[in-house]
Amino acid sequence: QVQLVESGGGLVQPGGSLRLSCAASGLSGSYNMGWHRQAPGKQRELVAGITWAGSTNYTDSVKGRFIISRDNAKNTMYLQMNSLKPEDTAIYYCNVRSLFRMIRYEYWGQGTQVTVSS
């Protein structure tokens, strides 16, 4: 079975940094990964995505502050978050998308809370 486990969330002061990790298991072949977040009263949004080969994309609000990366040998994805702002407060979810014989499979982690406050 596929399992995605996030870690690294917590409370941090504005301007601080935090690193999130997502450990994946039960997957084979190539797959894309991404971080999504959802704040109270708002829709879930894509924060950053990364392909198997390492191509990345970011939502405008985090460009220049966040860095997404992955270690395929460890089946782990990371999100380095710098210069954090209160508006970054949300539950952050790990996402995996894969294709097998033209069928798309999607998996989600349980999420980890990030709170930016003084």
Give pLDDT tens digits for 100-111.
Answer: 888 999 999 999
Give pLDDT tens digits for 24-75.
Answer: 999 988 899 999 999 999 999 999 999 999 999 999 999 999 999 999 999 9
Percentage of the chain beyond pLDDT 90 is: 93
Residue 87 predicted with pLDDT over 90:
yes
Distance (Å, rounded) from C-alpha 86 to C-alpha 73?
34
pLDDT of the residue at 93: 98
Nearest alpha-carbon partner for 34 in 2, 78, 99: 78
Distance (Å, rounded) from C-alpha 74 to C-alpha 91?
24
